[in-house]
Structure 1
Amino acid sequence: MPETTRNVADVTTDPATAATGKTAVLYRMALPDHLCPAGQKARWLLQSKGFEVDDRLFRERAEVDAFKAAHDVPTTPQVWIDGTRVGGYDALRQKLTGYDPDATTYRPVIYLFAVAAATALALSIGFLGALTWQTLGWFISLSMILLGMQKLRDIESFTTMFLNYDLLARKWVPYAYVYPWVEVGAGVLMTGMILTPLSAPAALFISTIGAVSVFKAVYIDKRKLKCACVGGGSNVPLGFVSLTENLMMMGMAIVMLLHLAV
């Protein structure tokens, strides 16, 4: 069956009957004021996996409501494969790619550190003409900025996760809200190599407390927690990544303070 795009009003075949072999049936909204992005993604995913798409479009809101009532579903798009309703885009993604939204992953941290490293290299080559110890310093300070911004993106979720293990935040809740601002501020000042008497002690303070908190929670208390290092809602496990983040800050702060004292 060739790929088709038809209005729902022009379709009479049952989706379970039409969805056979490598033909998938997709119902999605294409209203005058709303082209459903999840429906577009579902169509693209099906095509990328070799399916021919029997693409059925809702052109009016009344058609959407009638479809939901008839099939007892809360949302659209809806997909049928091999005569069976799969569900919406998230369910389709799980079925075709094995994606697990609850699975542990280090991907957000890898991407963040990769961007910080690439930026540090660009700064070093562009301004210094070579890789130096400053490259490492920029990598750490830029990582601090990016990590802090991830925390500030949803500070309520971050603070909830942070309070699970940070020793100072559990004693004084406002510290959880202050922490990402200090991390970003210290990172900005360290990147610009200015106000070291302010930035280095601040970074040393929060990183020392952070390192001790993570070490106690993970390696002494043996607690299995999610890391708040890349903000709330992540599936990055607490442990090596967060400890590394804090140790990098500690190391850079100590080096800067020693350099200041010379």
Structure 2
Amino acid sequence: MVHKYQITGMTCTSCEAKVKSDLLMTENVTDVSVSKEDNSATITMSKHVALSDLQKNLNPKYSISAINHSEITEQAKSWFETYKPILLIFFYIGLVTLLIQLKNESFRSMEWMRHFMVAFFLVFSFFKLLNLKGFVESYVMYDVIAKRLPIWGYIYAFTELGLGIAFLIDFNPLFTNVVTFIVMSVSIIGVLQSVLNKRKIQCACLGAVFNLPMSQVTIIEDAIMIGMSGIMILNLI
């Protein structure tokens, strides 16, 4: 079910991110969209949540109230429908990089992993850069560095782009893989914390283009990059 509420007290764009983060901490709230322009919040719930419970989780400077409290029912998505965008991306990346190997007499695992990482970083950075501001607003909600240093969200998006290009031109393989291993290892910390704490927040892996909830899928995504870069480092030293 989806409810729309009026929010008062928002004065800047960062307030949107703060209100969204606070409301997502409420039990049974699965998604939140906040707009400073019309001072509203559209909240998706798995079960009805009392207005008092929503207010309790908000910073005291913000106030939430009903807008003629009209309710919109929404059919729950299946697991596949929810994660279809990221699953299709991994399918296409995996298929294309495997087809590239057909030109070789034998399967070259190191080359395949490099090609996979080229596609991964270029595709995922592309979606982040489509709405860089939206990506950063989602990313600061869970990343351990971006929480304290929001500019890291902007740096991270371009770091992914840089890594994709570095893998593409095979620039200093050892350096590129070490940077990848470090960056993705730091990134997975916030993801693990959010999933283990069962926080209902949006995953920023595909930027703000798709509304993907944080889950084990995000952990697997980061773990694949950590694993591949780790294997390639061991192969290079």
Coarse TM-score class (shorter-chain normalised): 0.5 to 0.7
| Conservation of the 8 A alpha-carbon contact between 1:182 and 1:202 | no
| Conservation of the 8 A alpha-carbon contact between 1:140 and 1:248 | no
Match of 1:237 in 2: 213
The amino acid of 1:252's aligned partner reads M
Q: Residues 129 and 152 of structure 1: is their aligned pair in 2 closer, same or farther, counting only changes over 3 Å? A: farther
The amino acid of 1:189's aligned partner reads A
Greater RCO (Cα-Cα under 8 Å, separation 6 or more): 2
Match of 2:45 in 1: none
| Conservation of the 8 A alpha-carbon contact between 2:143 and 2:190 | yes
Deviations 1:56-79 (A, max 9, x none): xxxxxxxxxxxxxxxxxxxxxxxx
Alpha-carbon distance in structure 2 between the residues aligned to 1:200 and 1:148 = 17
Alpha-carbon distance in structure 1 between the residues aligned to 2:175 and 2:158 = 14
- How many angstroms does 1:129 deviate by? 4.2
Alpha-carbon distance in structure 2 between the residues aligned to 1:204 and 1:118 = 24
Pairs within 5 Å for 1:4-19: none
Is the counterpart of residue 254 in structure 1 residue 230 in structure 2?
yes
- How many angstroms does 1:229 deviate by? 0.5
Match of 1:110 in 2: 87
Runs of 4+ with >6 A deviation:
none
- How many angstroms does 1:214 deviate by? 0.4
Pairs within 5 Å for 1:97-246: 105-126=82-103, 128-133=104-109, 134-219=111-196, 221-246=197-222
Alpha-carbon distance in structure 2 between the residues aligned to 1:99 and 1:165 = 25
- How many angstroms does 1:183 deviate by? 1.4
Larger radius of gyration: 1
Q: Residues 124 and 104 of structure 1: is their aligned pair in 2 closer, same or farther, counting only changes over 3 Å? A: closer
Deviations 1:113-153 (A, max 9, x none): 12211220232123x24433132442233112211111111
- The DSSP-based 3-state class of the residue aligned with 2:146 is helix
- The DSSP-based 3-state class of the residue aligned with 1:171 is coil
Q: Residues 178 and 121 of structure 1: is their aligned pair in 2 closer, same or farther, counting only changes over 3 Å? A: same
The amino acid of 1:255's aligned partner reads I
| Conservation of the 8 A alpha-carbon contact between 1:210 and 1:246 | yes
How many pairs are equivalent? 160
- How many angstroms does 1:205 deviate by? 1.9
- The DSSP-based 3-state class of the residue aligned with 2:161 is helix
Alpha-carbon distance in structure 1 between the residues aligned to 2:131 and 2:217 = 20
The amino acid of 1:226's aligned partner reads Q
Alpha-carbon distance in structure 1 between the residues aligned to 2:169 and 2:101 = 13
Alpha-carbon distance in structure 2 between the residues aligned to 1:205 and 1:147 = 18
The amino acid of 2:131's aligned partner reads D
Match of 1:25 in 2: none
Q: Which runs of 5+ in 2 are unaligned?
A: 1-74
